[in-house]
Chain A
């Protein structure tokens, strides 16, 4: 058990970071901290992929010096996945930031809980208005 923790410390670190990011994304009321949580979560996956993709003692998969034996190189696909994943997470983060700016302009706060409270208050007022209009026994 102890030995496997030591050999897989990168994967364990990645999973811990993933959980930290996920909890932040879900539970932080502050929108900017949510985005930071999202980025930590995505980076954790890239750390996991990079750690899994690296084999100690092997070279980067660039064909030089006439060495054609595949077992001397590492697999380039995990690195490719990390690059694609980074592109995806950058665009998603940008979209979230744009949304945050829109919300801040509208409600002058970054706290999602406060925004939800404001909205609920508005809705309760609307409902009272409707209930006053809707007479009992009037509708099926």
Chain B
């Protein structure tokens, strides 16, 4: 075993160790530890991706001394390492982009706690990406939930406690359903590791027994992860959770947290559920319908919203709908498109949340359309960033959102005719609605205002924030221009994922 093969395990342990060390550090120290840790995880994930993409194979890493089917293990392939690379990059850029706000929004004595939540969040996301064990996944789902709750509460204003309670209630319903689903699965298969569980399930499907329990289990697991990732109609917690917290936390929550659960769901669909089982077809049907509904209703809700932060949050509901629609197509390409959109939406949404923070900052802290008039002149980089993020969301060519939509449309051609038509119509309607609310906001940002309102009073943009915004803009363009190798890696990764 080469050194590189240990890196996924090192990254999980390193992020947990960073969280523990940060308890005894002050704000500045915990910030340095966090940034160093994320950079190290980024480098290690890049090395792992290089290694696995070169061989095109995945490998399992035994945790402890007991081999499968008894011990615990993680499994690493091109898809997992690509996701780890994207997640750590997006976390780094989001935190750098919101650095100045973190210092303003969070009392100095609590700053280290904020970074601890971020460390734990990254560690749980990495564990969800890599783990091959169902119960480990459950434990890290809970760690992720608790860390996300801490991030939602980062700004200590009255409203966030209500958002946090609403998030926790929905999330705990999800966790409870996941746990009972997991217990039932363990009861009928006798395995907690995914690959042996799949073999046991395939044997049961072959004997045509346990069809009802298998369907119930997968409905429970899908619904639980759907609730946690904000699938329509379980999305009610999203706008509150993303709308009131500090920008770095909002960017991390919207671009990463939901995606961890979606990846776990994909893993369950590919690595645990045998393709021959009748449950597989039913689940993709349900995901498709909910995904398509979410694509449209999320956008309709976003149009109704006056506050730009909550509008961006509602747009996440629509984008999560896109991902589930891709999974619901039930084809390999649909899944590749969904995985690409996981990355693509992360890059777009992190950029939008970071820029929104800059724009509201120069508009007296308000996010409504009246206050934002001419904000694009007052904060140029945030204005440009928001415009590019919006264009990417709508699907303008050369930006990552276009590649996503194109891949979804192309993937739909391989699905059943009815689904193909439904997916195309939903894509067209959703794109139009996206254009309505994003372009409306961009027009407001560049409405001509009096020269006195073109300058921000008492505001100096931080250089690090600007650099992070530029980094996110470049990421959006890079994913849009150089998408073929990314799509190639994802599709090869999915081929060895099961």
Binding site for B on A (CB under 8 A): 15, 18, 21-22, 25-26, 31, 34, 38, 41-42, 44-45, 48-49, 52, 77-78, 81, 84-85, 88, 91-92, 95-96, 99-100, 102-103, 106-107, 112, 115-116, 119, 127, 130, 133-134, 139-140
Contacts and interface: CB of A to CB of B under 8 A. Distances in A.
A38 B175 CA distance: 10
B482 interface: no
B370 interface: yes
Contact of B168 (A22, A41, A96): A96
A32 to B, nearest CB: 12
A84 B135 contact: yes
Nearest to B159: A119
Interface in B186-230: 186-187, 192
B90 interface: no
28 contacts: A15-B180, A22-B176, A25-B172, A44-B180, A45-B176, A45-B180, A45-B183, A48-B180, A49-B183, A52-B183, A77-B192, A78-B186, A81-B183, A91-B142, A92-B145, A92-B146, A92-B172, A95-B146, A95-B149, A96-B168, A100-B165, A103-B165, A127-B306, A130-B368, A130-B370, A134-B368, A139-B370, A140-B444
A18 B176 contact: yes
B146 A116 contact: no
B192 A42 contact: no
Contacts of B176: 18, 21-22, 25, 38, 41-42, 45
Nearest to B190: A75
B187 A52 contact: yes
Main secondary structure of the interface of B (DSSP, over half): helix
Contacts of B165: 31, 96, 99-100, 103, 112
B146 A139 contact: no
B370 A45 contact: no
Listed from nearest, the 6 A-B pairs whose CB atoms lie closest are: A140-B443, A41-B176, A88-B142, A106-B158, A134-B370, A102-B161
Contacts of B153: 99
Contacts of B164: 99
B173 interface: yes
A104 to B, nearest CB: 10
Interface of B: 135, 138-139, 142, 145-146, 149, 153, 158-159, 161-162, 164-165, 168-169, 172-173, 175-177, 179-180, 183, 186-187, 192, 306, 368-370, 373, 440, 443-444, 447
Given A25-B176, A52-B186, 12 more contacts: A22-B173, A48-B180, A52-B183, A77-B192, A84-B135, A99-B161, A99-B168, A103-B165, A119-B159, A127-B306, A130-B306, A133-B370
Nearest to A85: B179
Contact of A140 (B135, B139, B447): B447
B179 A103 contact: no
Contacts of A107: 158
B139 A84 contact: yes
B113 to A, nearest CB: 13
A115 to B, nearest CB: 6
A106 B161 contact: yes
A48 B162 contact: no
B185 to A, nearest CB: 11
B306 A140 contact: no
B213 to A, nearest CB: 11
B168 A95 contact: yes
A18 B180 CA distance: 9
B369 A81 contact: no
B139 A88 contact: yes
Contacts of B168: 92, 95-96, 99
A68 B23 CA distance: 46
B447 A139 contact: yes
A103 to B, nearest CB: 5
A96 B146 CA distance: 10
Contacts of B138: 88
Contacts of A77: 192
A100 B162 CA distance: 9
Contacts of B187: 52
B439 to A, nearest CB: 9
The interface centre, meaning the residue of A88, A96, A133 with most chain B CB atoms within 10 A of its CB, is A88
Given A49-B183, A52-B187, A140 B440 contact: yes
Contacts of A116: 162
B440 A34 contact: no
A1 to B, nearest CB: 14
B158 to A, nearest CB: 5
A26 B139 contact: no
Contacts of A92: 142, 145-146, 168, 172, 175
Contacts of A34: 169
Contacts of A52: 183, 186-187
The interface centre, meaning the residue of A78, A116, A140 with most chain B CB atoms within 10 A of its CB, is A140
Contacts of B306: 127, 130
Nearest to A101: B161
